[in-house]
Amino acid sequence: MQKLAIQGGIPLRGEVHISGAKNAALPIMCASLLTADTLQLSNVPDLHDIATMRKLLEQMGVKAVAQGNELALQGGQVHKLEAPYDMVKTMRASVLVLGPLVARFGEARVSLPGGCAIGSRPVDLHIKGLQAMGAEIHIEHGYIHAQVPKIGGSGRLKGARIFFDIVSVTGTENLMMAAALADGVTVLENAAREPEVVDLANCLRAMGAQISGDGSDTITITGVEKLHGALHRIMPDRIESGTFLVAAAATGGSITLRDARADILDTILEKLGEAGACVRAEGDHVHLEMSGRPRPVNLRTAPYPAFPTDMQAQFMALNAIADGSSMMVETIFENRFMHVQELRRLGAQIDVEGNTALVRGVSHLDGATVMATDLRASACLVIAGLVAQGETVVDRIYHLDRGYEHIEAKLSQLGASIRRLK
């Protein structure tokens, strides 16, 4: 188990490059299954989850060639229409191969992802949507078997009107990809509005798909016969951006994000302003300056454009040292407060009641050994370690490597005292 050892108390200062967005790159990599041509991607982040997705696609027959942050994927020789359990269990986003496989090949066999630390995370909406488009789906031995009936049908999915009972990011992405090659028009209602959905739609349009309304809660897709290759640059990671901004605010520092996008950080920047930070955005630069103790900030997570659940844990580290109390409500996942126990070990005063955490700010945290439980909880503990007095050791940081490219190198560049212990 690798660990990170952090000496707290140093304000972060300087510039940091923001990498490509993990949650845009993952669905876009799956889009390579929709065409026999080559999908040429740039600004792909160097992350464990990206490597896992690449392995999954290669075992299906996709040809992958990586060069730094460039990745070429060619789906001409796909021969295995399956995502096995041992790969899906390590990364739920593997379910994103389901829609493209059924759309292009008329069948797929994808392991049910199972739950994860932050919640049960079912995929019933993905399945319901494909059934509405004519796929016959049955679940057996932990696998989703999907088949488009050939007899009497074109063997292709058909357009449908699909209403999401719950806003689902990958549910929207899976069905948008499936609809791109279906016969007829599909309308996704109560669709996810996340910027990563828009980035996927931009990539699909570059491949010849006919999609409109992405970024709103109603997306219309008119299926086409075939899709072709394209060039696409992955958008910047808004959660990585938010994570570094919160770390700078918590340590009372002054940093500039490079290659970022301020227009998709609205609620994060607004909440940082409430906490007392001065934030300025110019083009692809976002600058944050913070002096003194943060003010407490109440927040409630909800689907985009509201405050993102993926930033809740990071903000809790900031609220833990604020000069007052704050209420934090997690409405997306049923178990996304596992960082609370670990923050308490550092001296934080937090009470949890259901999906609400009451955080009473303390003047300082004391370094200790803590354990990462999921990707964003790990980021929260790193931020807490950056402000705690003395040394904090964060264990099980493989969670962190899934979603943050070279995090200790980037933090060291900003002046943090942080090192990886084998």
Q: Is 258 helix (H, G, I), strand (E, B) or coil?
A: strand
Q: What is the contact mask toward ligand EPZ in residues 259 to 298, using x (rule: CB under 6 A)?
A: ----------------------------------------
Least distance to ligand EPZ, CB of residue 150, Å:
27
Rounded-to-integer distance, Cα 108 and Cα 273, Å:
47
Least distance to ligand EPZ, CB of residue 98, Å:
11
Is 119 among the residues that bind ligand EPZ (CB under 6 A)?
Answer: yes
Q: What is the contact mask toward ligand EPZ in residues 69 to 98, using x (rule: CB under 6 A)?
A: -----------------------xx-----
Which token pair is 44?
Answer: 């792909």
Count residues near ligand EPZ (CB under 6 A).
24
Among 214, 237, 310, 401, binds ligand EPZ (CB under 6 A): 310
Rounded-to-integer distance, Cα 64 and Cα 185, Å:
32
Name beta bridge partners: 35: none
Active site residues: 116
Comparing CB distances to ligand EPZ, the nearer of 53 and 272 is 53
Is 26 among the residues that bind ligand EPZ (CB under 6 A)?
Answer: yes
Rounded-to-integer distance, Cα 226 and Cα 235, Å:
25
**Chain residues 151-170 in contact with ligand EPZ, contact rule CB under 6 A:** 166, 168-170
Rounded-to-integer distance, Cα 209 and Cα 225, Å:
9
Q: If phi over 0 gives left and psi between -120 and 50 gives alpha, with beta otherwise, what is residue 254? A: beta
Pairing relationship of beta strands 285-289 and 278-282 according to DSSP bridges: antiparallel
**Chain residues 169-188 in contact with ligand EPZ, contact rule CB under 6 A:** 169-171
Pairing relationship of beta strands 417-421 and 3-7 according to DSSP bridges: antiparallel
Comparing CB distances to ligand EPZ, the nearer of 256 and 301 is 301
Stretch that binds ligand EPZ, among 20-28, 202-210, 227-235, 277-285 (CB under 6 A): 20-28
Least distance to ligand EPZ, CB of residue 339, Å:
12
What is the rounded end-to-end Cα distance, in angstroms, of the chain? 7
Helix (H) or strand (E) holding 54: helix 48-60
Among 84, 122, 155, 273, binds ligand EPZ (CB under 6 A): 122
Q: Is 87 helix (H, G, I), strand (E, B) or coil?
A: helix
Instruction: Please report, as ranges, the residues that interact with ligand EPZ according to CB under 6 A.
Output: 22-23, 26, 92-93, 119, 121-126, 166, 168-171, 309-310, 332-333, 375-376, 403
